[in-house]
């Protein structure tokens, strides 16, 4: 194991600070409002490094249709839409009934809001009712359901589609379930990683951001 001359928190602070500095002024106000809501609600919103990574990825992937399992008040939509004019539709889902008001209160640019379909509903039900197919899916709801959602979404993924699973490391519980109290969730996360490793349908990489990100590409 290599020894680094800094601690992990210094690294995290560094990667968290960069996105704000690079934002153009027209988006800074919205970004600040999203961050204010995050601390006011103490909400587990998508982290800046993961959001920036998605945005970076989109300059190559150029997704048009996006679905999200677990959206809160829409923080990830900010990272999807930043300088991504090719996007046609983003379907957000959130089962909590207090976050749509927060989403609606935010000052989204007009050309962005037209593309967002916010559903205060269960992601599984919304997904099953979808007629189209998707270029990008973010799995970010209840961890015990990650694998169930991945299996559900497979038939509606376009060739080459990407699926990003946030916090898939979940404190390393899939390696040692004693780390967490929710043993069933740990077992399901373990099954998720086994499924990904064995899958011939997806090419995958694991990125060790804070709590882990799994990135999958549908092969055919």
Ligand X SMILES: C[S@@+](CC[C@H](N)C(=O)[O-])C[C@H]1O[C@@H](n2cnc3c(N)ncnc32)[C@H](O)[C@@H]1O
Nearer to ligand X among residue 61 and residue 96 (C-beta)? 96
For residue 120, the minimal CB distance to ligand X (Å) is 9
Helical residues (DSSP H) of 23-158, grouped into ranges: 25-41, 48-61, 75-81, 100-105, 110-113, 123-128, 146-153
For residue 138, the minimal CB distance to ligand X (Å) is 6
DSSP 5: S
DSSP-based three-state secondary structure for 87: coil
User: Residue from 48, 52, 55, 71 that binds ligand X (CB under 6 A)?
Assistant: 71
User: Residue from 30, 45, 82, 186 that binds ligand X (CB under 6 A)?
Assistant: 45
69 token code pair: 């399992």
DSSP-based three-state secondary structure for 215: strand
Give me the 108-137 binding string for ligand X, x by CB under 6 A, dash otherwise: --------------xxx-------------
Nearer to ligand X among residue 71 and residue 185 (C-beta)? 71
Which of the residues 136 through 165 are near ligand X (CB under 6 A)? 140-142
- For the chain, the residue count is 220
116 token code pair: 């967002």
User: Residue from 30, 52, 63, 72 that binds ligand X (CB under 6 A)?
Assistant: 72
User: Residue from 30, 46, 147, 163 that binds ligand X (CB under 6 A)?
Assistant: 46
Say which residues have a Cβ less than 8 Å from residue 183's Cβ, sequence separation at least 6: 177
Is 166 in contact with 140 (CB distance < 8 Å)? yes
Which residues form the interface with ligand X (CB under 6 A)?
Answer: 44-46, 70-72, 75-76, 93-96, 122-124, 140-142
């Amino acid at each position: 194991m290599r020894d680094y001359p800094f601690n992990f928190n210094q690294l995290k602070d560094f990667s968290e600070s960069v996105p704000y500095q690079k934002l153009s002024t027209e988006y800074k106000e919205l970004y600040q409002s999203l961050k204010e809501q995050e601390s006011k609600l103490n909400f587990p919103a998508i982290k800046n490094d993961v959001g920036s990574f998605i945005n970076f990825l989109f300059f190559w992937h150029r997704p048009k249709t996006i679905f999200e399992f677990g959206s809160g008040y829409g923080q990830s939509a900010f990272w999807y839409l930043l300088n991504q004019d090719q996007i046609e539709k983003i379907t957000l889902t959130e089962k909590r009934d207090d976050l749509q008001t927060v989403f609606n209160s935010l000052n989204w640019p007009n050309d962005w809001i037209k593309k967002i379909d916010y559903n205060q509903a269960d992601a599984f039900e919304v997904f099953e009712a979808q007629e189209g197919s998707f270029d990008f899916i973010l799995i970010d709801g209840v961890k015990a359901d990650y694998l169930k959602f991945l299996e559900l979404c497979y038939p509606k993924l376009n060739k080459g589609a990407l699926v990003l699973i946030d916090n898939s490391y979940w404190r390393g519980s899939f390696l040692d379930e004693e780390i967490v109290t929710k043993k069933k969730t740990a077992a399901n996360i373990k099954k998720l990683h086994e499924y990904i490793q064995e899958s011939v349908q997806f090419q995958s990489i694991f990125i060790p951001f804070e709590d882990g990100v799994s990135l999958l590409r549908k092969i055919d």
